[in-house]
Structure 1
Amino acid sequence: MSKRPGRLAVLAALPAVTLLTLAGSSPVFAAEDTPAYQIDLEQLNDSGSKGTVLLSARGTELTVWIKSEGMVPGQPSAQHLHGSTEGHDFVCPDASADTDGDGIINNTEATVHYGDINIALTVSGDTDAAKSALAVDRMPVADKEGKISYKRTIPVSQDVVDHLKDLHVVQHGIDRNGNGKYDFDGAGKSELDPNLPQEATAPTNCGEVKGASVGSVPVGGIETGSGATATGVSPGMMIGAAGAASAVAVGALLVVRRRAAAKAGAVA
């Protein structure tokens, strides 16, 4: 019985770090004052796409990591943070969102469910929704295997930081006719811009925040850690961060154990 209070004490002694884990990856520690949220991307429009996202805020700078697969090879994927910073509850759509019955959930139909674009997740330049939502020339391009690795740190408003849990990540781009590119033959013109094919703007996946501090940076492939590392993130950096935090935890544990032993000796 005397050992149990010591174990509880070490947990209470470590309020400054939170353990983040993701299936198949090494544990990573993050400071409590650095909000981190995990998002699992799930397919829309029978695209077969899936992915993992981490949103991590430090002050009013937001770092976004995305690892996705099942995208259209060699094609750009518009991607955004959707949702409200005013506390409104949005969700990822299901098949019932296809209100015109054409077999495709277009972005207008989906926006009713996942909300307006808040931030355009471009690879460079402006991220303002009004200016860059359809800036396909500055969006990530899938490799020949249909995979996207993305990392960028961008300035955001305090409202975005405060409401990260209310936002969703959506990637766009489908290949309805299976010819390996976006074209007008697959699904006609985009309702957002008639100069773009519907295939280029229809959502391919969507993900909702799972909860505060529940995921690690997706440094490997989807789910299993088998793929290439995300741009700008090295396994060594992650291991170093985890190792430093682990050392703190081990040190605190030893202190608690020594104090418990000394107290037991005094009682005896």
Structure 2
Amino acid sequence: MIPTRTSRLAALAALPAALALAVGAASPAAAADGAYQINLAQLNNSGSKGVAMLSLKGNQLTVKIESEGLVPGQPHAQHLHGSTDGHDFHCPDPSADTNGDGVIDNTEATVQYGNINISLTTRGSTDAKSGLAVDRMPTADAQGKLSYERTLTVSQDVVDHIKDLHIVQHGIDRNGNNKYDFDGAGKSELDPKLPQEATAPTNCGEVQGAAVGSIPVGGVETGTGPVDPPAGKSVPLALLGAGGTAAAAAAGTLVLLRRRRAQLSPVPAENGGAAA
């Protein structure tokens, strides 16, 4: 990896801790908005990985993504997938390849990570209909690296269920020729005019498992029961930042208080001490 890119990924990964300090000093209303780090883990043995941040302020959602290991010079469709009605979706594991062709295509993966909620385009509409708007999706550079940032106005449902959504980036290079073609994995099941390589998921990362935040109303959507959490599971700001810091501070204070009380309190006579 190029050193400057490494520092950018490291800076983005460290962002929750910095945000935590600001949130801790902010008003309760600001702290309730929240921010989440997402670790993007490879799918389809793509070698792709990355770090993303979702930051909410009211109905304004800022999405920042730094990823690498993508197909160089190619557009990469990316979306927030999942549910805003409490259903439990998650990043797929290898078992999602139900037809056994060696590629988890988007249709197979959607069973596990849900439909598109927001299309993370660079401009214009962000609705589900823009899911394949490759002309408005970010393009990886010559080293297969991608940077993305956009602030969107989202619905209250998204705000209320942000922990049940997750990021998926698409685009793989199965035959290793640094481009999307039909020789790699055939036609896309979504659009036969597109290669499967262009629409298959390359990585995925969860904002937070629905089971952590709320009880799913419909159970696990795969119909096969829950699976082990994927490597792409995220760390909520509450665990990294203000909440975790506050909890640690509270625990430390409690220990000190107990020690002080033990030092100041007289020892009961029956234990060999003087009576009060």
Both structures adopt the same fold (TM-score exceeding 0.5): yes
Per-residue deviation, 1:24:
9.0
Does the CA-based 8 Å contact 1:38-1:215 persist in structure 2?
no
Residues 61-101 of structure 1: per-residue CA shift (max 9 Å, x gap): 11000010000000000000000000111110111100000
Residues 86-126 of structure 1: per-residue CA shift (max 9 Å, x gap): 01111101111000000000000000000000000000000
Query: What stretches of structure 1 of length at least 5 have no aligned partner?
Result: 1-20, 217-268
Q: Secondary structure at the match of 1:27?
A: helix
26-35 or 203-212, which moves further after superposition?
26-35
Change (3 A) 1:215 1:78: farther
1:151 to 144, 149, 152: 149
Per-residue deviation, 1:23:
4.8
Query: What residue in structure 1 maps to residue 90 of structure 2?
Result: 91
206-215 or 104-113, which moves further after superposition?
206-215
Taking the aligned partners of 1:213 and 1:189, their CA distance within structure 2 comes to 40
Query: What residue in structure 1 maps to residue 255 of structure 2?
Result: none
Does the CA-based 8 Å contact 1:38-1:214 persist in structure 2?
no
Normalized per residue, which structure has more strand?
Answer: 1
Taking the aligned partners of 1:23 and 1:177, their CA distance within structure 2 comes to 35
Matches within 5 A, 1:131-170: 132-170=130-168
Taking the aligned partners of 2:132 and 2:198, their CA distance within structure 1 comes to 10
1:191 to 186, 189, 192: 189
Taking the aligned partners of 1:87 and 1:107, their CA distance within structure 2 comes to 22
Taking the aligned partners of 1:214 and 1:72, their CA distance within structure 2 comes to 34
More relative contact order, 1 or 2 (CA 8 Å, 6+ apart):
1
Query: What residue in structure 1 maps to residue 55 of structure 2?
Result: 56
Per-residue deviation, 1:26:
6.8
Q: CA RMSD in A?
A: 2.6
Q: Secondary structure at the match of 2:66?
A: strand
Per-residue deviation, 1:32:
0.5
Query: What residue in structure 2 maps to residue 102 of structure 1?
Result: 101
Number of corresponding residues: 201
Residues 29-73 of structure 1: per-residue CA shift (max 9 Å, x gap): 234132211110000000000011111111111100001000000
Taking the aligned partners of 1:89 and 1:49, their CA distance within structure 2 comes to 25
- In the TM superposition, structure 1's runs of 4+ consecutive aligned residues that sit over 6 Å from their partners are none
Change (3 A) 1:128 1:60: same
Normalized per residue, which structure has more helix?
Answer: 2
TM, length-normalised to structure 2: 0.68
Does the CA-based 8 Å contact 2:173-2:180 persist in structure 1?
yes
TM, length-normalised to structure 1: 0.70
How many percent identity over aligned positions?
70
Taking the aligned partners of 2:15 and 2:38, their CA distance within structure 1 comes to 16
Does the CA-based 8 Å contact 1:165-1:211 persist in structure 2?
no
